[in-house]
Amino acid sequence: MTESTSARLTIKQFVTSDGYRHNYRHWRPATSRPKAYVVALHGIQSHSGWYEHSSGKLCEAGHEVIFVDRRGSGLNEKERGHTRHKDRLINDVVQILTEVRNRRNEEAPAAPVVLLGLSWGGKLAAVTAAQHGELIDGLALLYPGIRAQVHPTRWQRFKLGAAEAVELEEKRIPIPLDQPSLFTTNVEKQNFIQSDPLALRDVTVAFLYANRDFDAALGEAKRTIRCPAVLMLAGQDRIIDNPVTREWFENLATQERRVHEYENSGHTLEFEPSRDQFIADLISWLDDLCIVT
């Protein structure tokens, strides 16, 4: 394992079963027994570096955060924007969850392992939680990509269909989120998104096939998620369909559900004025989960 340290976080790596080397940002609290272990998954365009503030605050509150850059995203330069299929992404998450859970069992057996998914990562988190519920004790979904308002253009759909017809799985398609204002009302953060060299701007046809398969799996997923769950929505979200997402969440199998909606916030809560409030609410939910488990 290689690592480099900056401020309160450490960048580490793990290798999945197919040999892919993943980078992740790791926040470890000063205590030898974290209150909870949080494995976090970012959105389609973002990466773990967008969420350093909230992750640091969770760490200060005593929770360990393992924020994984999805294969082909963020610090992971190999196969940018590509995955072979849906199950490959799920297997990546399962492997890091298994490693974290084994370490938890040695360090702090009573501490919950929580899977946290933001935006598109919420879709991946939800399906993983449904299929591998034995690995987690709680699910946190922040403005999750259960149903999107933003869709590919007619031309982009045509290109995808043409690529599928001739089996061009590595053909690249632009992500239809080219306006930073979709993510946040904060002009400074819009400029950051626009110039971020690690942000993902396009994905392969194979990734879009996987995305389609995730969408198909979400209906069944809500019937099998039985762990405590929290949903956080941005009231002014221009990317996520909040009513459909809330309805999906309210039909989860679990009865331990909590919902927060930040009325005046844009999609990426990390960049909005409500940032401190959503972090406080998330810490409160984690602390309550620690008491229950």
Q: How far apart are CA 144 and CA 117, in angstroms?
A: 7
Q: How far apart are CA 23 and CA 69, in angstroms?
A: 6
Domain residue ranges of the chain, discontinuous segments joined by +: 4-292
Contact 111, 85 (CB under 8 A): no
Q: Map residue 96 onto helix, strand or coil.
A: helix
Instruction: Please state, in angstroms and as integers, the Cα–Cα distance from residue 163 to each residue in 6, 43, 44, 121, following that order.
Output: 42, 24, 20, 25
Q: Which CATH class is domain 4-292?
A: alpha beta
pLDDT digits (tens, 9 = 90+) for 163-183: 565 456 788 888 988 899 999
Give the pLDDT band of residue 151 (cuts 50, 70, 90).
Answer: low
Q: In whole numbers, what is the pLDDT of the chain averaged over residues?
A: 92
| Rg (the chain; Cα; Å) | 18
Give me the percent of the chain exceeding a pLDDT of 90.
84
Output the six-digit token pair for 79.
């196969």
- pTM (two decimals): 0.92
Phi, psi of 127 (to 5 degrees): -70, -40
Q: How far apart are CA 236 and CA 233, in angstroms?
A: 9
Q: Pick the range with the lowest mean pLDDT from 75-79, 102-106, 175-179, 245-249.
A: 175-179
Amino acid symbol at 79: E
